[in-house]
C-alpha cells in the first residue's frame, strides 16, 4: 500500500501539469498526497476492520462510514475528487438512485467506470490468502460507487496483480493472467504510450497503461518515472503502478519512502504500520519496518569527539594516507586511522580518498564504502562531509555520490547531504 501512496505523491504535481520528461524532478516543493491516498486509507481501514472482526460479507455500510470519515478529516492538500464521487461523499441527495430513478435518499452506487475504484484498492491485494478472495473483496470495494462492470474489473485487476506479484509470480505470468481474465491489452509498448497517451480517467483507459509501465520497469523508481511521464491522470497512473511495483520488487529506495512518509498524518502512518505489522502482510513488514520518516532520521553530528564500540568515523583522505589536516587528522589522532593508508578501514575509521581530482574520481571509492557497510551491519558508519573541507568541494557535488547509501540503515549521512538528496 505504501507504493500506492508514493505513486500518488510523485504524480501529484504533474496531474494538471503533465510532463513527458522521464527524468522529471521526483519531489517538487508542492508535492503532497491527494484524494487517491485518502481513499486508499479508507479502503484499507475498512478491509482490516472486517478481517479482524471475522466479517466475511464486507458490508458497504462500514466502507461508506470509513470513506466519509476520512474524507471529512483530511481535505486533500493536492488534487480533488471526481464530480460524482464528491457529490456521493458530501451531497448524496444530489444524485439519482439507479434502482428507482428518483433523487437518492441514501448513498447509492452511480454506475461509474472511473479509475477511482482501481486507485484505492491496493491494500486488498495484500490482505487475503487466495486470488479468488482477493478479487471478490476488490469487487465489493469498487461496487459501493463504481458498480459499472469496467469499474469493478479495474479494481479486481489491480488487486490481482498485487496478489500475484507478492506471492512470487513473474511478469509474463502476471501479464498472461490479466489479459485472459480481464481482457486488457498489455501488448502496447511504453515508448508508444509515452508519445501518444492522453488524459483518460476511465478504468479501461488507466489500468492497462499503469500495468504496462510496471511490466517494462526495472525497479520501483523506473516504474514511477514511466507512469508519470506518460502524461494523463499522473497521480492515479503512478498510484496504481507504484502499488504493483512495490508488491513485485518488494524494495523501495528509502529516500523515496522517507520523503513520502514525512508528508503523511499520524492516522495514515498508523494504518500503514497496522498493515505492515499484522499477520495479513508479513512480507510487507520486512521492508517497511526499515524506513524511518524523515522527521525521525538520524544525522552525522557536526563534531564527533568520541566513538562507541562498533561506531566508525568515515572521513575524506588522500591516496597517500597523509592524515595531516581536517577530519583526517582527527581520525589519525583519536580514532586509529593508520598513517600511510588512504583507503578503507583502519582502527575505527574508514578513509575515502577525495584529493585525486574531480568529484567523479571519488565515486568508485564511495561505492566500495557502501558495499563494505552492507556486509558489516554490526557497525554504524558516521559519514562526515567528506571532500567539503581541504579538498574544496561543495556539498551539492559530493552528496549525489551517496545516493545508494540511503538504502543502507547503518550508514548515517550529514543533514546537508540528505537534504540535497531529498530534492533530487
Q: Where are the domains of the chain?
A: 2-293, 298-422
Residue of 16, 145, 41 lying closest to 84 (CA atoms):
145
User: What pLDDT does residue 101 have?
Assistant: 72
Residue of 423, 88, 25, 411 lying closest to 224 (CA atoms):
25
300 assigned binding-site residue: no
Instruction: Report helix, strand or coil for 24.
Output: coil
Helix (DSSP H) and strand (DSSP E) numbers for the chain: 20, 5
**Fold entry, domain 298-422:** 3.40.220
Please count the CA atoms within 13 angstroms of the CA of 205 that sit on its side-chain side: 13
Residue of 222, 240, 239, 247 lying closest to 168 (CA atoms):
247
Give the position of cell 511504453: 190
User: What pLDDT does residue 279 have?
Assistant: 39
Alpha-carbon distance of 128 to 281, in angstroms, equals 9
200 assigned binding-site residue: no
User: What pLDDT does residue 286 have?
Assistant: 45
Give the position of cell 474524507: 71
DSSP structural state of residue 337:
P
CB 8 within 8 A of CB 229: no
DSSP structural state of residue 334:
H
Question: What phi, psi does 371 have (nearest 5°)?
Answer: -60, -40
129 assigned binding-site residue: no
CB 142 within 8 A of CB 122: no
Alpha-carbon distance of 174 to 168, in angstroms, equals 10
Strand partners of residue 122: none
233 assigned binding-site residue: yes
Cell of 1: 500500500
130 assigned binding-site residue: no
Please count the CA atoms within 13 angstroms of the CA of 282 that sit on its side-chain side: 2
The H-assigned helical ranges of 55-170 are 60-73, 83-90, 116-119, 124-127, 131-143, 149-166
Alpha-carbon distance of 420 to 424, in angstroms, equals 7
Sheet harboring 411-412: ordered strands across? Answer: 344-346, 349-353, 311-317, 380-383, 411-412
Question: What phi, psi does 46 have (nearest 5°)?
Answer: -60, -50
| 69 to 42, 90, 146, 164: CA distances (angstroms) | 8, 11, 19, 31
Q: Does domain 2-293 have CATH number 1.10.287.10?
A: no
User: What pLDDT does residue 295 have?
Assistant: 54
CB 174 within 8 A of CB 164: yes
134 assigned binding-site residue: no
Cell of 351: 578513509
- Walk along the chain (424 residues) and give the pLDDT tens digit of each residue: 999 999 999 999 999 899 999 999 999 999 999 999 999 999 999 999 998 888 889 999 999 999 999 999 998 777 788 888 999 999 888 777 766 777 767 888 999 999 999 999 999 999 998 999 999 999 999 999 999 999 999 999 999 999 999 988 999 999 999 999 999 999 999 999 999 999 899 999 999 999 999 999 999 999 999 999 999 999 999 999 999 999 999 888 888 998 999 999 999 998 998 887 653 444 444 445 455 555 567 899 999 999 999 999 999 999 999 999 999 999 999 999 999 999 999 999 999 999 999 999 999 999 999 999 999 999 999 999 999 999 999 999 999 999 888 878 899 999 999 888 876 5
Amino acid at each position: 500500500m505504501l507504493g500506492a501512496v508514493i505513486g500518488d505523491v510523485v504524480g501529484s504535481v504533474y496531474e494538471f501539469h503533465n510532463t513527458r520528461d522521464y527524468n522529471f524532478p521526483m519531489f517538487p516543493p508542492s508535492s503532497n498526497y491527494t484524494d487517491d491516498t485518502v481513499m486508499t486509507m479508507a479502503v484499507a481501514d475498512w478491509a482490516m476492520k472486517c478481517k479482524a472482526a471475522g466479517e466475511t460479507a464486507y458490508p458497504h455500510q462500514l466502507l461508506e462510514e470509513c470513506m466519509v470519515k476520512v474524507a471529512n478529516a483530511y481535505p486533500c492538500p493536492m488534487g480533488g475528487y471526481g464530480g460524482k464521487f464528491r457529490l456521493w461523499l458530501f451531497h448524496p441527495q444530489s444524485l439519482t438512485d439507479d434502482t428507482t430513478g428518483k433523487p437518492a435518499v441514501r448513498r447509492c452506487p452511480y454506475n461509474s467506470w472511473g479509475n477511482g475504484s482501481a486507485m484505492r484498492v491496493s491494500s486488498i491485494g495484500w490482505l487475503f490468502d487466495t486470488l479468488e478472495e482477493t478479487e471478490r473483496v476488490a469487487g465489493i470495494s469498487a461496487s459501493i460507487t463504481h458498480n459499472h462492470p469496467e469499474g469493478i474489473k479495474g479494481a479486481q485487476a489491480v488487486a490481482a496483480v498485487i496478489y500475484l506479484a507478492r506471492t512470487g509470480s513473474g511478469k509474463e505470468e502476471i501479464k498472461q493472467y490479466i489479459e485472459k481474465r480481464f481482457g486488457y491489452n498489455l501488448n502496447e509498448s511504453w515508448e508508444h504510450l509515452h508519445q501518444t497517451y492522453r488524459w483518460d480517467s476511465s478504468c479501461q483507459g488507466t489500468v492497462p497503461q499503469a500495468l504496462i509501465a510496471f511490466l517494462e520497469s526495472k525497479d520501483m523508481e523506473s516504474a514511477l518515472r514511466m507512469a508519470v511521464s506518460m502524461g494523463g491522470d499522473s497521480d492515479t497512473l503512478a498510484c496504481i503502478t507504484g502499488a504493483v511495483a512495490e508488491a513485485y520488487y518488494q524494495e523501495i529506495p528509502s529516500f523515496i519512502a522517507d520523503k513520502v512518509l514525512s508528508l503523511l498524518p499520524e492516522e495514515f502512518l498508523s494504518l500503514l504500520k497496522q498493515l505492515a505489522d499484522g499477520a495479513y502482510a508479513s512480507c510487507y513488514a520486512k521492508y517497511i519496518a526499515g524506513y524511518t520518516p524523515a522527521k525521525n532520521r538520524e544525522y552525522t553530528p557536526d563534531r564527533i569527539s568520541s566513538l562507541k564500540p562498533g561506531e566508525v568515523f568515515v572521513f575524506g583522505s588522500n591516496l597517500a594516507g597523509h592524515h595531516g589536516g581536517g577530519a583526517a587528522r582527527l581520525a589519525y589522532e583519536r580514532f586509529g586511522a593508520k598513517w600511510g593508508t588512504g583507503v578503507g578501514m583502519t582502527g575505527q575509521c574508514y578513509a575515502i580518498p577525495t584529493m585525486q581530482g574531480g568529484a567523479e574520481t571519488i565515486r568508485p571509492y564511495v561505492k566500495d564504502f557502501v558495499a563494505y557497510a552492507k556486509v558489516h551491519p554490526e557497525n554504524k558508519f558516521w559519514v562526515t562531509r567528506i571532500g567539503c573541507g581541504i579538498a574544496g568541494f561543495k556539498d551539492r557535488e559530493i552528496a549525489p555520490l551517496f545516493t545508494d547509501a540511503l538504502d543502507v540503515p547503518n550508514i548515517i549521512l550529514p543533514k546537508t547531504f540528505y537534504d540535497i538528496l531529498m530534492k533530487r
